[in-house]
Amino acid sequence: MHLSEKEGIEKNSFVVTGGLGFVGSALCIELVRRGARIVKSFDVQTHSPFSPQLLQNGVHLIQGDITDKQDVQKALRGADCVFHLASYGMSGKEMLQYSRVDEVNINGTCHVIDACLDHQIKRLVYVSTPNVVYGGKEIVNGNENLPYFPIDDHVDPYGRSKSIAEQLVLKSNSRPFNKKNGKCLYTCAIRPAAIYGPGEERHLPRIVNLAKLGLLPFKIGSPNVKSDWVYVDNLVLALLLASMGLLDDIPGREGRPIAAGQPYFISDGSPMNSFEFLRPLLKCLDYDLPKTSLAVSHALLLGKIFWVFYSFLYPWLNCRWLPQPLILPAEVYKVGVTHYFSFLKAKEELGYVPMVSYKEGMAATIAYWQERKRRNLDGPTIWAWLFCVIGMSSLFAAAYLPDYGPIPFIRAVHLFFFPSMLALKLMFVLAAAAHLGEGIYAWNLAKRIDPANARGWFWQTFAFGFFSLRLLLKRAKK
């Protein structure tokens, strides 16, 4: 399919559900660039890091809930094409919220389909997931002929709900509009690989934060395990080509559109081991990649333990103080079992060819994260935190607190290493003075090389001493 880059876009109106997200915002901006008349971003959020850029490009920001039928009906009115990206439960704590996952991914999709039929919107592009056919069993260079993974066998509600939603979307293809006028709705589904790029806020921040804290203790599975990734610009291109593939008024191609009722796998076409994929990024950020490996069976056991533990914390899953689980079963399958897919069908039918290679995409992603790290306060690992907090607290307790509870035991342990209480108190005073001196030095140094975070460097170095100061010295050296 060879069409103008503005075919079906110029002078048309679009709605992007989940439009304040990473992919949704990039899609909105590209639609504007290609001459769309109106672009609406429909999202439950009122603001995101991408909001200012969207507003600068003239995108209409509509706040609403995909699970509220009236919100959806209102947002989609007047659209010529809808890109349905909104979803919930892809990773982390969200995966355990079964009811919300189904409500957003299944009910929300039904509302979108109904609104398209009510408002006579001819094109609906649904963003799905490879998990509709993958559930932990190896797939090598799979294609769209693979059957759906059995609904009851999914290990997480996200894959199950997205499978149901995709089937609803594809079965709605060619459904006549509610106002009988001889026209109908055309639908297709895009199944993107794991998405990356500058500004991605779901996978990479979680991985980078774990590496920063020293909480990436092991790889999972064999080094030969491979999976797909897709750079954001490549995915946006695929989505636009899919919308063109639903046009039924192209001269010489009138009738059923080529993409109608079809699913498409989309990737960069460079399957690789997930940990090798991340190596250049973590290396450039001076974070360590784990050297030891954990068998998939053992990682699954660990994931199930986290699943059970966090299930008991269900009422607090949305609380910011509750950290993300280290790993969950579905995430073990994502990184520990080979599964990658061919985009040949998308190439032949839509004309999709990745325009950004893995090397180019990773270079842009690394540059973004290096700048992000430069702007923010860098901190020590969790082990340094624990060493300093526990060490200084126990030293203070042994030196100055009265005998109560565990204090006599803590004092006895310290006196095993120090000759007297006077020496113990003197050690605490010297340690506190050293931390204060290091904090003042860090503050003066940061005022020259990182003035925006100078106060943060002082307090962090005062608390953690050389563990923090060495990070600032490394930044000064660079």
* Residues 233 and 26: beta-carbon distance below 8 Å: yes
pLDDT tens string 179-207: 777 789 999 999 999 999 999 988 899 89
Can you give the pLDDT at residue 379? 87
Residue 89's identity, in one-letter code, is: G
How far is Cα 336 from Cα 280, in angstroms, rounded to an integer?
Answer: 19
pLDDT at 448: 92
pLDDT given for residue 472 in this prediction:
92
What integer pLDDT is reported at residue 409 of this predicted model? 93
DSSP character at residue 19 = T
pLDDT of residue 296: 94
Whether the CA torsion 361, 156, 213, 227 is positive or negative: it is negative
pLDDT of residue 180: 75
Beta partners for residue 339, in sequence order? 139, 227
CA–CA gap between residue 69 and residue 60 (Å, rounded): 20
Give just the sign of the alpha carbon dihedral 294, 298, 304, 306.
negative
Torsion of CA 138, 141, 144, 150, to 10 degrees: 0
- Residue 172 in 3-state DSSP? coil
Phi and psi of 33, rounded to 5°? -60, -35
**Tens digit of each residue's pLDDT (9 = 90 or more) over 426-449:** 999 999 999 999 999 999 999 999
Residues carrying an active site annotation:
158
Element spanning 61, H or E: strand 60-63
Residue 2 has what pLDDT? 58
Amino acid at position 137, single letter: K
pLDDT tens across 143-185, in order? 999 999 999 999 999 999 999 999 999 999 999 998 777 789 9
pLDDT of 1: 56
What is residue 68's predicted lDDT score, i.e. its pLDDT? 97
Q: Are 259 and 188 in contact (CB under 8 A)?
A: yes
Cα(96)–Cα(328) distance, integer angstroms: 10
Are 277 and 20 contacting, i.e. CB atoms less than 8 angstroms apart? no
Share of the chain above pLDDT 70, in %: 99
Tokens of 122: 């001819």
As a whole number, the mean pLDDT across the chain is: 93
Reported pTM: 0.91
Average pLDDT across each block of 10 residues of the chain; the chain has 478 residues. List them in order: 77 96 97 96 94 96 97 96 96 93 97 97 97 95 96 94 98 90 92 96 89 88 94 98 90 80 96 94 90 92 95 92 92 95 96 95 96 89 90 92 90 90 92 94 93 94 92 87
CA dist 66 and 387 (Å) reads: 46
Q: What is the CA radius of gyration of the chain?
A: 26
Contacts 24+ apart (CB under 8 A), 143-149: 143/265, 143/341, 143/342, 143/344, 143/345, 144/262, 144/263, 144/264, 144/265, 144/345
The DSSP result for 220-276, as a single string, is ES-TT--B-EEEHHHHHHHHHHHHHTT-S--TT--SS-TTTTEEEEE--S--B-HHH
Q: How far apart are CA 234 and CA 156, in angstroms?
A: 27
Treating both helix axes as pointing N-terminal to C-terminal, what angle do 421-449 and 454-464 enclose, rounded to 10 degrees? 160
β-strands 123-127, 81-84 pairing: parallel
pLDDT in tens, 374-397: 888 888 988 888 999 899 999 999
pLDDT of residue 477: 84
**pLDDT value of position 254:** 67
Cβ of 29: how many Cβ atoms within 10 Å?
19
244-267 in b/e burial notation, b at 16+ Cβ within 10 A? bbbbbebeeeeeebbbbbbbbbbb
Look up residue 186 and give its amino acid: Y
Q: How would you classify the pairing of strands 219-220 and 293-294? A: parallel
CA–CA gap between residue 300 and residue 212 (Å, rounded): 24
Task: Look at residue 253 in the predicted model and tell me its pLDDT.
Answer: 66
Q: DSSP state, 64?
A: -
Under DSSP, the state recorded for 87 is -
